[in-house]
Each structure stands twice: as C-alpha cells, then as structure tokens.
C-alpha cells in the first residue's frame, strides 16, 4: 500500500472481513467445542450414561435387585466375590450387587436432580429480590437464610422423617429445602455486583420495568455461576443422600441406593470389600460427571469464550 | 423561562450517612445541593466541575435513576419528580442518557441487535420484528457502524464503537433530550473527536437537546452553547459558552480555565493552582463552599453563602466579589 489508510476503523465499508465462524454449520461448531472443551464432553457422557442406566435399569440389571439368591452365598454364609454369574459379587443377603448398583442410580439421580431444582427455584428468586431491592427486604431474606444455614442438617432430616415417612421424596425435599439458602446467597452476591453495571441503569433509563430488569437483564447475567452451582449441587446432593441412607434415615431398605449399600456393606467390608467398591465407585463417577459438566457449562454460557 | 425544554429547580440529592446497629442517620452527603438551570430546546448545556462535585448525580437525578431528595425537574412543562412509576416509564422515551463507561453500559449478553431493539420493545414502537430490525439497522448506519455487525456481542467492539452503540440505543426511542454523562472521557483523544462530531451531527439531524456532563473544559467548549460550572454540589457560574471562556467571573472557573492546556508551547499565562483538596460534601465549609481554596477570599465569604445573581446579561455567578 502506497498510502497509509487514516480513515477511522468504524466507517462502514463494503469490504468488511467476514470472520470465519460466521458461516459455520452447527455440526462444525459442535466439533470445535468438542476439541476446545474435551472435559465437558467427558462429564456430559458420564451424566448421560448415568441417566440411561437409571432409565433403563429394569432392562440393564441382570437380576431383580431384591431377590435373595440361595446360590448367592458361600457355604459358610459369606457373600460371594465377583464371579461369572454375579459379576460384582453378592451382598451378605445373597443379592446381586450389580443389579443393586444399577437400580441405585435411580435414587441417586432423582434425589440429586430434584433437591437441586428445589434449591434453585426457591433460592434464585429470593436471591434476586434480596440483592436488587436491598434494604429491609434484603435484611429479612438474609436473616431467614441465616436461620436455615444454622439449622443442623441431620436434625432437620430426622425431624422431617419423624413427622413424615422416610422416603425418596422426603429425602430430596429435605435436602432441597435446606440447600436453597446457599443458592440465594450466591445469587444475591451476583446481583449486587451486576446491578451496579451501567447497562442495568441504561435499561431503567429506557423505561424497563422491574420485572424486565430482574429477569431479562440481571438474570441472564448471573446465570453462569448459578448453573455451575446447581450442577455441582447435584453431585453434592447425591452424596448427602448417601450420607442419610448410610445413617438409616434416608432411603429405606430394601430399595437399593448407593448410600444404603455402603451402610450395609461396611459391616462386612473386611472380607467382602466389593460391597463398598462398586457403589462407592458409581457414586464417585456420578459426582465427577456432574462436576465436570458444571465447569464446562460455565464456559459454554460465557459469550466471551475464546475458543 | 417558559421556552425551556428542561428546567431544573433547586435540585437536591442528599445521601444519608448511617451509623451504628440501628442505622440511624447521622448526617447527609450533599452530593447535589440546590442546583437550578434551564435548558432550551435544541441547545447543548455543558455541565463541568471536578470529580465529586455532583455532575453525574445531577444528571441521574434528572432522569430519576436515583430519586432526588428535593427540588423539581420540569420536562416539557411536566414535573418529572412528581410522576408515578408508570407515567415515568412513558416519559423515559423522551429523555435518554449516554453513559460514561462504554464497557459497562452495554449488556454483555445481548447482541447489538438485541440491545437496539430492546427500547423499541419496551415502548412498543414497532409492530413486527422485521420493522424493529430495519430500524436497528438504520440506527447503526446513523451512528456510522456497519450493519453487518448486528449479531456481534459488545466485547467484539472497541471503546469508540461501543459508545456509538450506546448512542444508537439512546436514539432508538426518538428522544428529545439526551443527557450525555461524560460520553467521551473513557475514550482515546482521537476517538473523542469522532464521537463529539457524531453527537454534533445527530443534534442537527434530529433536533436533539443535550445536557453534556464533562470534566474536560475543552471538550465542553467544543460542543456547548451554555455552560454551568459546579463546585461541591452547587452551581457557581452559568453563562454562554463564549462569555464563560473569555471572561470567567467566579474564581473557581478562573482556576479551572487556567488549567486547560493551550496548544502553543510559546504561550505564557498565569496558572492558578488551587490549594488543598475538595472538601467533603458531608461536611461542607461555612459560607461560600469555595472559600478555603479561593484566592480572593474575603471575610464575608467565610460566613455568608453568596447569592446567585445575574451579573451580566445571561451570565450568572454566585460570588461575593460581584456584590
């Protein structure tokens, strides 16, 4: 070029360079993401596998999880180690561990998902209102969260189970109801940060109503951490379910759940360690899957992602 | 004045200072303390002053982005401070704001198109999505951006381009008044002039009225018809732009103007250097707020607040020197 172009870069020109990704097909986009964030896909596949196992438990499980097989115990009454018939061995009642692990995924997934959704749907609106309106509303909502956060978790569940019957739904209600303050806190903090941005002021200046500002402007801008939190919560809530079941106040026998399997297995684990390995490993993979997915979603929801 | 589009009368914005567990109010920060001015339709009113003097707060309380604690704002004859929320929302289409920070004023999750269409959706300006899109494209052309970038996000633009998008958004509702809150101070000098010229062109094209808030006197001189100088929440001088720059009356204005660089290294002039810091607006000095830093301070200045007077036709000031 003989002449340096001093024109301002903003002037519209016909010769604008088209960025490569603009004309790209969806399938290419997908491949590009796969390359850039392999761990999201690992997490996604693990979660997907869990969902498939839970949904098709009846087809996938080789045996009925509750049947006590006469041939499922050794002659001295000890559980059988993994073998050709019972591929993950049997427990001390002669039940097939593999079938129980597969059926247990239903309880874990149900509790994990439902409890997180309960926390999400209670915590998010309260957090947004608390953060946006501030002052008296904020004080009231935040003191309520303090009360909930101060509540001893086990005590609450024991009380709930004493009043109602211990069941899967009561477990996730208990976990969800005690989990919302954390979501509300995080949402509130995000709102406090986001509401100071001038684009929120700009929306107000444009005449946007409170509802639009709260749910169209602020909510999308705080969703990334909330989604990550919720996904991570799913994993945590699965762990809590197993804690409760382990303590005997969660899912009641004979319903198979990973936590109750660990509880039952711990008595005999010295000579039958497979009773802990398989449900423990299943729990580990499920929680890991949700955590990886959560981290990856944060990237995907970020419009500034570089790759 | 009856021909004023915007008339600000004794506007006050006092922020309470709360202390202790009972959050009792122990005092007020007088961010804006009785500011009055009129802006005629089609003119540009510059508002200058150093950091913390209440320029931005004035701008925002005119739009009721923060609720003023006293005084009235008349826009087109209507008392804005008395309007209900619903009425306020309607009138917002006529008065818009362009923000200082082009990085914070655009929603990072909206594409340019969404950003520009949002005000149209709020005010129900166009029936169909196609009409809105057409209008958004027009707006982009008006502010000199390529319409091929409609689907980009704000972070893909430079500061100057973002400020243009911010201006386009303000124009989307066909406002009469635009409050420009330091629209160029976050920009590079070369880009500043482009944006200023754009504002100038838009004013001619759409008969806009501006309240132009800035701390840069040369910028204000370039664009304003009349200029108001603020100090510690009060207006100290108000005049036609030429008259203010040629013959500043208030010692504070004189000091400010002496700080404007002259693009001539040979030129010599007396530089007035203000002593001390800006006093706290929570605990302003007695009498004239400016007296502790004033070169021409007299005894009366320490005890009595000066009156706001028209010293020459159209040239107002609040200073005991001219009594």
pLDDT-derived band at B70 (thresholds 50, 70, 90) equals confident
Contact list, B62 vs chain A (CB under 8 Å) = none
Q: Is the peptide bond before A254 cis (omega within 30 degrees of 0)?
A: yes
How are beta strands B177-181 and B95-98 bridged, if at all?
parallel
Contact list, B93 vs chain A (CB under 8 Å) = 206-207
How remote is the C-alpha of A135 from its chain's centroid? Answer: 32
Q: Which two tokens stand for residue B70?
A: 């006293």
**Chain B window 232-261: which residues touch A at a Cβ cutoff of 8 Å?**
none
The helix (run of H) or strand (run of E) holding residue B15 is strand B4-19
Cβ pair B104:A304 closer than 8 A: no
Name the interface residues of A facing B (CB cutoff 8 Å): 8-13, 16, 197-199, 201-209, 212, 217, 220-221, 303-304
d(CA A18, CA A117): 42
- Look at chain B and count its residues: 323
Looking at chain A, the number of H-run helices and the number of E-run strands are 12, 0
The Cβ-side half-sphere exposure at A73, using a 13 Å CA radius, reads: 13
Give the residue carrying structure tokens 């040629």.
B246
B123-154 burial, b if ≥16 CB within 10 A, otherwise e? bebbeeeeebbebbbebbebbbbbebbbebbb
Instruction: Give me the residues paired with residue B29 across strands.
Output: B15
> What's the DSSP call for residue A96?
B
Residue B14 confidence (pLDDT): 87
Residue A3 confidence (pLDDT): 45
Best of A6, A8, A9, A10 to mutate (most B CBs within 10 Å, chain B): A10
Closest approach of chain A CAs to the CA of B282, in angstroms? 22
Contact list, A190 vs chain B (CB under 8 Å) = none
Q: Which of B104, B122, B161 sits opposite A206 (nearest CB)?
A: B122
Average confidence score pLDDT of chain B: 85
Cβ pair B105:A203 closer than 8 A: no
Instruction: Give me the residues paired with residue B12 across strands.
Output: B33, B70
**Chain B window 203-222: which residues touch A at a Cβ cutoff of 8 Å?**
none
Residue A305 confidence (pLDDT): 56
Q: Which of A13, A205, A209 sits opposite B97 (nearest CB)?
A: A205
Quick check: A233 and A119 in contact, CB under 8 A?
yes
| pTM, rounded to two decimals | 0.75
The helix (run of H) or strand (run of E) holding residue A149 is helix A135-150
| B96, closest residue in chain A (CA to CA) | A205
Q: Which two tokens stand for residue B233?
A: 């929440």
**Which of the two residues, B314 and A13, has the higher pLDDT score?**
B314
pLDDT, tens only, A155-190: 887 787 778 777 788 888 888 888 888 889 999 999
Cβ pair A203:B155 closer than 8 A: no
pLDDT, tens only, B122-141: 888 888 888 888 888 888 88
Weakest mean pLDDT among A251-265, B170-184, B259-273, B286-300:
B259-273
pLDDT-derived band at A13 (thresholds 50, 70, 90) equals very low
Quick check: B225 and B211 in contact, CB under 8 A?
no
Contact list, A204 vs chain B (CB under 8 Å) = 65
Residue ranges of domains in chain A, CATH in brackets: 106-301 (1.10.3720.10)
pLDDT-derived band at A19 (thresholds 50, 70, 90) equals very low
Weakest mean pLDDT among A83-87, A210-214, B156-160:
A83-87
Q: What is the DSSP string of B131-148?
A: HHHHHHHHHHHHTT--GG
Contact list, A14 vs chain B (CB under 8 Å) = none
Best of B67, B109, B117, B154 to mutate (most A CBs within 10 Å, chain A): B109
Give the residue carrying structure tokens 């007296």.
B291
Average pLDDT over every residue of B94-101: 87
Task: List phi, psi (to 5°) of A57.
Answer: -55, -40
Give the residue carrying structure tokens 């005092």.
B27
- Its ipTM equals 0.78
Quick check: A180 and A124 in contact, CB under 8 A?
no
d(CA B69, CA B11): 8
Contact list, A202 vs chain B (CB under 8 Å) = 97, 99, 105-106, 166, 169
């Amino acid at each position: 070029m003989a002449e340096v172009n001093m024109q301002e870069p903003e002037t519209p020109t016909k010769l604008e360079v088209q960025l490569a990704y603009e004309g790209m097909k969806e399938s290419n986009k997908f491949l590009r993401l796969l390359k850039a964030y392999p761990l999201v896909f690992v997490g996604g596949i693990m979660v997907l596998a869990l969902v498939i196992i839970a949904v098709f438990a009846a087809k996938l499980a080789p045996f009925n999880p509750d049947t006590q097989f006469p041939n499922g115990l050794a002659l001295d009454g000890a559980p059988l180690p993994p073998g050709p018939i019972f591929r993950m061995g049997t427990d001390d009642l002669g039940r097939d561990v593999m079938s129980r692990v597969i059926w247990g995924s239903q309880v874990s997934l149900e509790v994990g998902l439902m409890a997180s959704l309960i926390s999400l749907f209670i915590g998010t609106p309260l957090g947004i209102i608390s953060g946006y309106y501030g002052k008296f509303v904020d004080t009231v909502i935040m003191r309520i969260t303090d009360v909930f956060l101060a509540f001893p978790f086990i005590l609450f569940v024991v009380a709930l189970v004493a009043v109602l019957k211990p069941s899967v739904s009561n477990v996730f209600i208990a976990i969800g109801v005690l989990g919302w303050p954390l979501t509300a806190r995080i949402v509130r903090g995000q709102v406090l940060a986001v509401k100071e941005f001038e684009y929120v002021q700009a929306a107000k200046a444009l005449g946007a109503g409170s509802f639009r500002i709260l749910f169209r402007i602020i909510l999308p801008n705080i969703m990334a951490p909330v989604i990550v939190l919720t996904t991570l919560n799913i994993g945590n809530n699965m762990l809590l379910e197993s804690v409760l079941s382990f303590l005997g106040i969660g899912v009641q026998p004979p319903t198979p759940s990973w936590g109750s399997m660990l509880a039952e297995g711990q008595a005999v684990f010295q000579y039958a360690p497979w009773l802990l390995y398989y449900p423990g490993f299943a729990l580990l993979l499920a929680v890991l899957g949700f955590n990886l997915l959560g981290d990856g979603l944060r990237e995907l929801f970020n419009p500034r992602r570089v790759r | 004045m009856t021909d004023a589009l915007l008339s600000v009368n004794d506007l006050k914005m006092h922020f309470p200072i709360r202390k202790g567990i009972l959050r009792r109010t122990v005092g007020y920060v007088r961010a804006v303390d009785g500011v009055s001015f009129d802006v005629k339709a089609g003119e540009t009113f510059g508002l200058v002053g150093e950091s913390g003097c209440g320029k931005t707060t004035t701008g925002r309380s005119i739009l009721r982005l923060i609720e003023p604690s006293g005084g009235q704002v008349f826009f087109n004859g209507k008392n804005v401070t008395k309007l209900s929320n619903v009425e306020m929302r309607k009138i917002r289409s006529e008065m818009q704001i362009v923000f200082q920070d082009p990085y914070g004023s655009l929603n990072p999750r909206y594409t340019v198109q969404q950003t520009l269409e949002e005000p149209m959706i709020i005010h129900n300006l166009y029936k169909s999505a196609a009409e809105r899109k057409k209008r958004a494209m027009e707006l982009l052309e008006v502010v000199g951006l390529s319409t091929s970038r409609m689907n980009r996000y704000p972070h893909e633009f430079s500061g100057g381009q973002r400020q243009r998008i911010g201006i386009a958004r303000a124009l989307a509702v066909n406002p009469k008044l635009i409050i420009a809150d330091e629209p160029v101070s976050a920009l590079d000098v070369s880009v500043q002039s482009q944006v200023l010229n754009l504002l100038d062109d838009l004013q001619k094209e759409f008969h806009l009225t501006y309240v132009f808030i800035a701390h840069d006197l040369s910028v204000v001189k370039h664009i304003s018809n009349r200029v108001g100088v603020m100090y510690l929440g009060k207006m100290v001088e108000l005049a036609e732009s030429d008259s203010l720059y040629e013959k500043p009356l208030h010692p504070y204005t004189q000091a400010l103007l002496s700080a404007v660089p002259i693009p001539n290294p040979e030129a010599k002039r007396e530089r007035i250097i203000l002593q001390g810091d800006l006093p706290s607006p929570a605990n302003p000095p007695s009498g004239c707020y400016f007296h502790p830093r004033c070169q021409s301070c007299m005894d009366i200045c320490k005890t009595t607040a000066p009156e706001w007077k028209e010293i020459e036709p159209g040239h107002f000031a609040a200073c005991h020197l001219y009594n």
